[in-house]
Amino acid sequence: MANWQGVEGGVTAPKGFRASGIAAGLKPSGAPDLALIVSDTEAIAAGVYTLSHVRAACVDYCQQRLESKPYAQAIVINAGQANACTGPQGWQDAVSTCEAVATTLNIPTESVLVASTGVIGQRIPMEALATGIPKAVAALSTTGSDDAAKAIITTDLVTKSIALEMDWQGRPIRIGGIAKGSGMIHPNMATMLAFVTCDATVSPSLWQSMLSRAIAHSFNQITVDGDTSTNDCVLALANGESRTPAITDAGPEADRLEAMLTAVCDHLAKAIARDGEGATCLLEVTVAGAVDDEAARQIAKEIAGSSLLKCAIYGHDPNWGRIAMAAGKAGIPFDQGDLRIELGPFLLMEHGQPLAFDRPAASDYLKQATQGDYLKTDTVNIQVCVGHGSGSGIAWGCDFSYDYVRINAEYTT
């Protein structure tokens, strides 16, 4: 059983963190579009970044910065412009953004990280940004997480936020997080954009390895449309303000902190998948019986990402053949004679053979889940077993509706 509990506050729940979100005029809509997350003291910083070969300037900037010095005190995020495929001037815009934040906060430029989201090929409107940064700094608050979460979204329908707390030798430790993402979601390292704060004291190398493993089980296991963003990035700060004993080596204490970090990432990842563009439900695929966990996760993500299956779910069609097809093309060998498939409470296939099942009832299961009514949940559960191995894994996705095509057909028009 988890030894933590949920608390309010998102990224400002951990001690020593403030955040803000304002409308700086970066979005034509006038919606909030500039967010700032600041630690009162310099924090251990870790990051995981997209493996796409077409990357935004902010991604390269953060990766280079943290490889040379794994510390940071502030993260600035603009929404509306991805600043990807913008050439040398886009790089300079990222640098100038960090310089402006550093000057306003009176901290070193190398203590500032930057993230961007929006339309690829569009630079940040630097004049508006320069005017907005002092306003974002002035708005910093220990209750500003919700404002920051609102300021980083693009096509998202809802904000994504969480904070957890657990007792650590008589003192509380907290981890908080916010994220954005709705389309172009098929992470190949991390996620769309996510930001995590923690008030524990942890060594830089351990914090980085914890984050990387947490992402492998969470953000890397979600898919909306199979497209990996140019801007995918997860940044995590740990500032030690809880004043709890330092965690410097692997072991039970590190495992406890990593488990809570993973829980935060799991929550944010599922929230992104549920808020997929045009989605009506969350799809959760569990795979067992694989040779190892990595193989199981690969099969699960292939199933969750199948466009044909996603369409079938939206159409309330319990077409289990699409599940079997997706499992088979994941690139993981298994004996199809061992294949077992369940859709919610319905067993559809066992020992590689189709079974008779109540098709209208299975269709109703999908219909009620996509309408958010089935057993008070909006989650479609698919369970697959591919053999007798010990490997297991989970992936999350969503259905494809007509609205997904509409949203993306009109994205820049």
- Note down pLDDT in tens along the chain; length 413 residues: 478 999 999 999 999 999 999 999 999 999 999 999 999 999 999 999 988 888 999 999 999 999 999 999 999 999 999 999 999 999 999 999 999 999 999 999 999 999 999 889 999 999 999 999 999 999 999 999 999 999 999 878 889 999 999 999 899 999 999 999 876 556 654 446 899 999 999 999 999 999 999 999 998 898 876 666 788 899 999 999 999 999 999 999 999 999 999 999 999 999 988 887 778 889 999 999 999 999 999 999 999 999 999 999 999 999 999 999 999 999 999 999 999 999 999 999 999 999 999 999 999 999 987 665 433 468 999 999 999 999 999 999 988 888 877 877 776 65
Quote the tokens at residue 373. Answer: 């009514």
Angle at 80 between CA 75 and CA 84, to 5 degrees: 75
Q: Which of 299, 297, 298, 323 is nearest to 309 (CA)?
A: 323
What is 155-178 written as a DSSP string? S-SS-EEEEEEEEETTEEEEEEEE
Backbone angles phi, psi at 118, to 5 degrees: 145, -150
291 close to 386: Cβ distance less than 8 angstroms? no
The burial class, CB within 10 Å (0-12 / 13-18 / 19+), for 138 is: exposed
Rounded to an integer, what distance in angstroms lies between the CA atom of residue 225 and that of residue 372?
21
Across the chain, how many H-helices and E-strands are there?
A: 11, 15
At 110, the amino acid letter reads E
Rounded to an integer, what distance in angstroms lies between the CA atom of residue 296 and that of residue 301?
9
Quote the tokens at residue 100. Answer: 């402006």
Question: 19 CB contacts (<8 Å, ≥6 apart)?
Answer: 10, 11, 12, 35, 36, 37, 38, 140, 141, 144, 145, 147, 148
Give 320's DSSP letter.
T
Could you tell me what percentage of the chain is helix, strand and coil, using 3-state DSSP and rounding each to the nearest 5? 35, 30, 35
- Selected catalytic residue, list 86, 191, 201, 280: 191
Q: What is the pLDDT, as a whole number, of residue 358?
A: 96
> What is the biggest distance separating any 2 CA atoms in the chain, rounded to whole angstroms?
69
Could you confirm whether 377 is annotated as catalytic? Answer: no
> Looking at the chain, which residues constitute the CATH 3.10.20.340 domain(s)?
282-409
Give the position of tokens 């319905």. Answer: 346
Rounded to an integer, what distance in angstroms lies between the CA atom of residue 271 and that of residue 348?
28
Q: Which CATH number fits domain 4-274: 3.20.20.20, 3.30.420.40, 3.10.129.10, 3.60.70.12?
A: 3.60.70.12
Which residues on neighbouring strands pair with residue 18, listed in sequence order?
A: 38
Q: What is the pLDDT, as a whole number, of residue 373?
A: 45
Q: What is the pLDDT, as a whole number, of residue 375?
A: 39
Q: What is the pLDDT, as a whole number, of residue 192?
A: 67
Q: What is the pLDDT, as a whole number, of residue 304?
A: 94
What is 254-309 written as a DSSP string? HHHHHHHHHHHHHHHHHHHHHT-TT--SEEEEEEEEESSHHHHHHHHHHHHT-HHH
118 close to 79: Cβ distance less than 8 angstroms? yes
> Looking at the chain, which residues constitute the CATH 3.60.70.12 domain(s)?
4-274
Stated pTM of the model = 0.89
Q: Supply the angle between the helices 57-68 and 87-105 in degrees, to the nearest 10.
A: 60
Q: Which of 134, 79, 128 is nearest to 103 (CA)?
A: 134
Please state the CATH superfamily assignment of the domain spanning residues 282-409 in this structure.
ArgJ beta chain, C-terminal domain (3.10.20.340)
Q: What is the pLDDT, as a whole number, of residue 360?
A: 95
CA distances from residue 28 to 33, 121, 266, 412 in whole angstroms, order as listed: 10, 16, 32, 12
173 close to 198: Cβ distance less than 8 angstroms? yes
3 close to 256: Cβ distance less than 8 angstroms? yes
Q: What is the pLDDT, as a whole number, of residue 368?
A: 83
Q: What is the pLDDT, as a whole number, of residue 326?
A: 95
CA distances from residue 403 to 43, 276, 297 in whole angstroms, order as listed: 42, 10, 28
